[in-house]
Amino acid sequence: MRCVLRDFQGALESYQEALRRLPNSAFVLEQMAHLERRLGQFAVAQKHYQAAAQLDPRNIGIFLTLADSLQSVRRYDEARAIIDRVLEMSPGNEDGLAAKAFSFQGQGRLKEAAEVLAKAPAKSQDETLTSARCFQLYYERRTRASPQQPQKLDSIREGRRPACQPQRSPEDVRPVPRFGAEDSGSSDRRQRREGDHHRRTYLTKLG
């Protein structure tokens, strides 16, 4: 309810109280991390994602969210190591392939990103994967249009992102409260779909 009312600090305090009663709950730690990201507390959020992953080492959703958190602060190599672990657990996982492609794109390594995307089914309907492919085409088009200016891709690392991939702020990172039997993976996919919707909207306007 507190998340619905946008009382994120109050929601975080409620989960902190829950953690005192359930110190080994991966779910509680994950939800706290979502809220901490929302409040801009990225370092603390990453620690809680890592703790949740240790308690629930087969939960792919937690690992992908941790990797996304690391990518948001441009720690691409660390994020990719986590994504590789996901792909070891679930070879061909489309969210994992998309996340790995995003990590290479963030470093301007388009060839490696293209190789990762080529491993995914050509007719996949996964929204995150579709978004990664759209970004790949966008970056490749920019590179072809300005072959003498490779620094344009470097601007992603420096924070001058293209308009379709705006710089994240704490206000952009929204926790997804979950109720009932909804699994952790669906929560993370819903978070990513929000960002994908805005990306696709911009790319559609580009024509």
pLDDT in tens, 36-87: 888 888 888 888 888 888 888 888 999 998 999 889 889 999 999 999 999 9
3 domain-assigned: no
Report the CATH number that the domain containing residue 159 is assigned in CATH: 1.25.40.10
11 touches 35 (CB < 8 A) = yes
Task: Tell me which amino acid residue 107 is.
Answer: Q
Number of domains in the chain: 1
182 domain-assigned: yes
Question: Cα angle at 24 between 19 and 25, to 5 degrees?
Answer: 65
23 domain-assigned: yes
| pLDDT bracket for residue 175 (50, 70, 90) | very low
First-to-last CA distance in the chain? 40
44 domain-assigned: yes
Q: Domain limits at 83? A: 8-206
CA distance 39 to 56: 24
103 domain-assigned: yes
2 domain-assigned: no
Given this model, what pLDDT does residue 165 score?
46
Residue 86, Cα to own-chain centre: how many angstroms? Answer: 13
196 domain-assigned: yes
Given this model, what pLDDT does residue 56 score?
87
Residues 6+ positions from 16 with CB-CB distance below 8 Å? 32
- pLDDT tens-digit profile of 16-27? 888 788 888 888
Given this model, what pLDDT does residue 13 score?
81
55 domain-assigned: yes
